[in-house]
Structure 1
Amino acid sequence: MTFKKVDEDMNILFLTLSKMEDIRQRGIYTDLVRELSSRGVNVYIVSPRQKRENLPTELSKEGNIKVLKVKTGNITATKSFIEKGISTLMIEYQYLKAIKDNFKDIKFDMIMYSTPPITFNKIIKYYKKHHNSKTYLILKDIFPQNAVDIGLMKKDGILYNMFRKKEISLYNNSDFIGCMSYGNLDYILQHNNYVTKNKLEIFPNAIEPIEKKQKTSKDKQILDKYKIPEDTTLFVYGGNLGKPQGIDFVIKIVDEFYKVENGHLLIVGSGTEFNKINTHIENSKPLGVSIFERLPKEEYDKLIGCADVGLIFLDYRFTIPNFPSRLTSYMENSLPILAATDKNTDIKDVLLESKSGLWCESTDENKFIKHAQKLSSEKELRENMGLSGRKYLEDNYDIRKTVDILLNHLLEGDAQNV
């Protein structure tokens, strides 16, 4: 398969809240940046260094990738919604100043930015006006409605109205909006009648897939280290443990997991709700359940290599169609997926279409446990679902294909047909 390349100097400015200390690490944004770089694009990344890290603003370079790490307030894993809000509002001023200071002689052909946050409007407008830059929004988060759904913000309150105006401005200032799924795309059209359909396209969570591994046996050494029995069916949840995950439901699953014969539940993550679930596990000491807040990436990857099932949790109250990037990690490792989410996400449709997993609403712990029992007892089913998921990833979530979407706009300026 032939992919597009850039023959002349072209510059993309990428604004993100993701930590970009090492662009060689694997992830949806680092993989995207490296692939753009390999096609000849000069990529200028702006990412945060949060206050708690106590590090200065710093510019680093690797080939045709420059990473500007800007000192900001604390914007993730904060216990104070007020602190997070103020830091988020300040970030566009901090970013714009740092960009002007460090990239003042660079003309940007495209400004690319992901949500969260929705507060990059001043930067986007500045470069549209002064550089005639194309603007591309990678929509990973529909805010402020997601905060309303889970009770973090009041609909039509002062905060909501302020952020909603910024959201509308962001969509208006974006030449193109890349949506994770058709559910996302349809939601934007239905709830924002000022957005034209030709501005929207599918830009899925995508990665550079690692070589397909043939799993023969589990790594006994890493399992022993974390006291996980080698002969169990290992169910793994890895990722954020916050309000969006619906932690009360996860706690119900923890309490009921003893019913999954030969199953072991491993939870690895951090976030605002970690202490709640960790305290519950420490007090109730459920059978066949382990939890860790943070693990070295190398060791987490080894545990994923031992996993038999990947788990996804989302709060049942969401009206917006979230689409967790965790899905690609599980598919990459040929893991069947068990997802408990709201009814509105179309992740359930992807699991059905790809034949890669099972789904239930995150109010039905009995159905979840029945699905877990089925997956625990049927090895052939797990293997077939895992292989189907891996093929679906290669066909639909390969970063090389999504980079072609960007280069189509960069080189031709033609909107993609939805």
Structure 2
Amino acid sequence: MNILFLTIAHITNTNDRGIYTDLMRQFRDKGHKVTIVSSAERRYGIPTGLSTQNGIEILKVSTLNLQKTNVIEKGIGTLLLEYQFLSAIKKYLSNVKFDLVLYSTPPITLTKVVKFVKKRDAAKTYLLLKDIFPQNAVDLNMISQGGLLHRYFRKKEKALYAVSDNIGCMSPANAAYVCANNPEIDPTKVEVCPNSIALTHEPALTATEKSTIREKYKLPSAATLFIYGGNLGKPQGIGFLLQVLRTNENLKNAFFVIVGSGTEFPLIQKWFDSNKPKNALLLKGLPKEEYDKLVKACDVGLIFLERKFTIPNYPSRLLSYLENRMPIITATDRSTDIGSIAEANGYGLSAISGDLEAINKHIHHLCENPDVIKAMGEKGYDYLKNNYTVERCYEIIMKEPR
């Protein structure tokens, strides 16, 4: 089969690890011909063009900056994206007949692209729903409920759902939300198709290897290391993360590592500069390979989400924690099921964002019980193997006759 994947993810190497590159390699390895159409944001200075990499075709489309930029450029770039993708596909992929079109959110503005390929090639369409927009923007007070922008993008959202033969959601709560808030959708086409990765089956670090990594970043050898890695933006509820750091400044057997980038990084940097915490380290986004090594040297993964969310997010950073046999602590809104799933399956502890007493209790509990950390970490790895692999995701997508 010829597979077309549309995404705004910045893909530079198809052999890099990531939820999309891992899945596309799985399709390739199953004998399919894969073509990726991805944005080349203005900041990278890459012209539109087609290339082949590791047996996968990549059509890079020059666009405005769409992520980690100001609201105005992001808005204009998102609106132009549909026409830029469509133009590039017509120019570079006119002779390819696709059997299946996969596409992820964000953005929700690729409906015309999906419709074009679907009609031209009689292709099946599958939406990988990673973001529920515009409601997430309403939750963060970025746009007004019922306002002009909200109505415009809500119409776009519904159109994308309508053109999709199947909608793969990240979790049961995610799927339930989509059905409940879009009653016109046939619920039989909505299913759980979670974030997934290709397992590397690498052995755990030896004590010496772990010590070497900790020494590199001047991390204490005896303390329990809690790591928060990933995007540092408004959706992550950074204010509460800083409260957690502040209230645990005197906890000698705990150390917190915050690594990532995003719109709220300057705020976090300012807090670190002012407070100079002795048991916390802030690192600006690391290359993926270095980040993965750092995670391996840590003990517990942290997941934070803004408490205002009414949509059930499911951050993909969970996967690297579970792969490295680390339990998680979540501080989230009440809508997501990422914490409840972790607790039900024994690999995590959850709290509502803003509940300092609850999350600090979890932190202290794990600091005092290394055996619990190990046992929960093993349960998390087992859950990952059974639920969050690209093999399973591939089977879900391909289970219907194509």
TM-score (norm 2): 0.97
Correspondent of 2:91 among 85, 97, 101: 101
- Separation in structure 2 between the aligned mates of residue 382 and residue 93 of structure 1, nearest angstrom: 49
Asked if 1 retains the 8 angstrom alpha-carbon contact of 2:292 and 2:320, the reply is no
Q: CA RMSD in A?
A: 1.2
CA drift at 1:260: 3.1
Give 1:240-389 correspondences, 5 Å limit: 240-389=231-380
Asked if 2 retains the 8 angstrom alpha-carbon contact of 1:261 and 1:376, the reply is no
Alignment correspondent of 2:177: 187
Q: Does 1:149 align with 2:123?
A: no
Q: Does 1:210 align with 2:231?
A: no
- Separation in structure 1 between the aligned mates of residue 218 and residue 108 of structure 2, nearest angstrom: 42
CA drift at 1:19: 1.1
Asked if 1 retains the 8 angstrom alpha-carbon contact of 2:232 and 2:261, the reply is yes
Q: Which runs of 5+ in 2 are unaligned?
A: none
Asked if 1 retains the 8 angstrom alpha-carbon contact of 2:204 and 2:324, the reply is no
Q: Does 1:159 align with 2:149?
A: yes
- Separation in structure 2 between the aligned mates of residue 26 and residue 125 of structure 1, nearest angstrom: 30
- Separation in structure 1 between the aligned mates of residue 273 and residue 317 of structure 2, nearest angstrom: 26
- Separation in structure 1 between the aligned mates of residue 46 and residue 35 of structure 2, nearest angstrom: 20
Name the aligned partner's letter for residue 164 of structure 1: R
Asked if 2 retains the 8 angstrom alpha-carbon contact of 1:144 and 1:163, the reply is yes
Alignment correspondent of 2:49: 58
- Separation in structure 2 between the aligned mates of residue 351 and residue 274 of structure 1, nearest angstrom: 27
- Separation in structure 1 between the aligned mates of residue 286 and residue 119 of structure 2, nearest angstrom: 45
Q: Which runs of 5+ in 1 are unaligned?
A: 1-9, 414-418
Deviations 1:267-303 (A, max 9, x none): 0010000100111111111220100112233322221
- Separation in structure 1 between the aligned mates of residue 397 and residue 97 of structure 2, nearest angstrom: 18
Deviations 1:117-160 (A, max 9, x none): 00001111111221111111000010000111111111111111
Range that drifts further, 384-393 or 92-101 = 92-101
Alignment correspondent of 1:85: 75
Asked if 2 retains the 8 angstrom alpha-carbon contact of 1:212 and 1:333, the reply is no
- Separation in structure 1 between the aligned mates of residue 276 and residue 113 of structure 2, nearest angstrom: 50
CA drift at 1:262: 0.8
Deviations 1:165-191 (A, max 9, x none): 000100011110001111011101110
Asked if 2 retains the 8 angstrom alpha-carbon contact of 1:260 and 1:376, the reply is no
- Separation in structure 1 between the aligned mates of residue 54 and residue 335 of structure 2, nearest angstrom: 42
- Separation in structure 2 between the aligned mates of residue 348 and residue 265 of structure 1, nearest angstrom: 20
TM-score (norm 1): 0.94
Name the aligned partner's letter for residue 291 of structure 1: L
Give 1:384-403 correspondences, 5 Å limit: 384-403=375-394
Asked if 2 retains the 8 angstrom alpha-carbon contact of 1:319 and 1:344, the reply is yes
Is the partner of 1:394 in helix, strand or coil? helix
Q: Does 1:111 align with 2:101?
A: yes
CA drift at 1:238: 0.5
- Separation in structure 2 between the aligned mates of residue 327 and residue 171 of structure 1, nearest angstrom: 26
CA drift at 1:212: 5.0
| Identical-residue share of aligned pairs (%) | 46
Deviations 1:20-54 (A, max 9, x none): 11010111101000000000111110111110111
- Separation in structure 1 between the aligned mates of residue 297 and residue 263 of structure 2, nearest angstrom: 27
Name the aligned partner's letter for residue 3 of structure 2: I
Q: Judging changes above 3 Å, is the alpha-carbon distance between structure 1 residues 358 and 212 closer, same or farther for their aligned structure 2 residues? A: farther
Q: Does 1:174 align with 2:174?
A: no
Name the aligned partner's letter for residue 67 of structure 1: I
CA drift at 1:259: 4.2
- Separation in structure 2 between the aligned mates of residue 82 and residue 173 of structure 1, nearest angstrom: 28
Alignment correspondent of 2:118: 128
Alignment correspondent of 1:6: none
Asked if 2 retains the 8 angstrom alpha-carbon contact of 1:41 and 1:64, the reply is no
Between the two proteins, the alignment pairs up a number of residues equal to 401
Name the aligned partner's letter for residue 406 of structure 1: I
Is the partner of 1:231 in helix, strand or coil? coil
Asked if 1 retains the 8 angstrom alpha-carbon contact of 2:340 and 2:350, the reply is no
Q: Judging changes above 3 Å, is the alpha-carbon distance between structure 1 residues 298 and 129 closer, same or farther for their aligned structure 2 residues? A: closer
Asked if 2 retains the 8 angstrom alpha-carbon contact of 1:260 and 1:372, the reply is no
CA drift at 1:384: 0.3
CA drift at 1:354: 1.5
CA drift at 1:214: 3.3
Name the aligned partner's letter for residue 247 of structure 1: I
Deviations 1:323-375 (A, max 9, x none): 11111111111001011000110112211222001110011122211111111
